[in-house]
Amino acid sequence: MRHRTLGELRVSAVGLGTMPLSIEGRPDEARALATVHAALDAGVTLLDTADSYHLPGEEPGHNERLLARALATWGGDTDTVLVATKGGRGRPVGADWTVNGDPRRLRAAAEGSLRRLGVEAIGLYQLHKPDPAVPFEESVGALRELAQEGKIRLAGVSNVDADQIRAARAILGDRLVCVQNRYSPAVGDSEPELRLAAGLGLAFLPWSPLGGISRSSLDGPSGLADEGPFTAFHEVARHHGVSPQQVCLAWLLSRSPTVIPIPGASRPETARDSAGAADLELGEEELTALGRAVERGRRGAGVRG
């Protein structure tokens, strides 16, 4: 497993997004734990979670408690693993995902995450999404206070624009280590934020990084004829004998040395396959072909970037 830097920490070049293990369609606990263990065994050292990763109306923290059990039952060195969690969103019954960036709410959320994870300080705590009803600086200020009190070690922001990244950097200084935005072959709206993060030395964690790449070869034939502008990912995958998803993650890694994808998984096989992208070498001609495919796909969908 190759590594990249997140602040002063060295983490795996590919992380694991653990949301699928706790929301609708989640696997049973045995398979969920096996999925996390498979990622860890493959060298993944970054696990991304949130207090809101649970079923609607369920008590917050299902995913955090699951990760705590997974780490407690894993036979490896957990000191090498960074658990990154987030606060500021909710999932009440009968409603869509809510946003609450009130500093008091963020403090309570972080303290709840501390208890569920069973740690003295959260390794990486991220503002899940800016709250339009709360000044962004106040929400980020809560993260600064939590860091000053030793309750979180590093901070990040998610679902933010370039101006918000700059504002967070001004408030948090070197404690701000990452930006987590949606980014994939099909979704390039955060291209400016990716470039800004790289310029500031911040890690960029694409969430939902496999957008546009359908049906892994792990699930059977890829259906190349039906893949539209992203067939190039399947063609490169066939050449290397890997899944299109693995090619997608390797392409993301090529976008910037600060990119650390966090693909989700709900099966051990998928977690292992994603981890393998860190060691997949793509040639210049392949990267050029993939880049052209992405450009065509985004242009056709009217996506900037």
Tokens of 136: 């962004």
269-272 — which CB contacts under 8 Å span 24+ positions?
269/38, 269/218, 270/35, 270/216, 270/218, 270/245, 271/16, 271/35, 271/36, 271/38, 271/39, 271/42, 271/44, 272/38, 272/39, 272/41, 272/42
User: Which one of the listed residues 47, 53, 229, 249 is annotated catalytic?
Assistant: 53
Determine the Cα–Cα distance for residues 87 and 105; give it in Å rounded to an integer: 9
Residue 192: how many CA atoms within 13 Å on its side-chain side?
Answer: 11
Instruction: Measure Cα distances from 84 to 25, 107, 110, 158, 194 in Å.
Output: 23, 16, 11, 12, 19
Determine the Cα–Cα distance for residues 66 and 271; give it in Å rounded to an integer: 16
Give yes or no: 125 in active site: no
Q: HEC states along 128-150?
A: CCCCCCCCHHHHHHHHHHHHHCC
Distance, first Cα to last Cα, the chain: 29
Question: Known catalytic residues?
Answer: 53
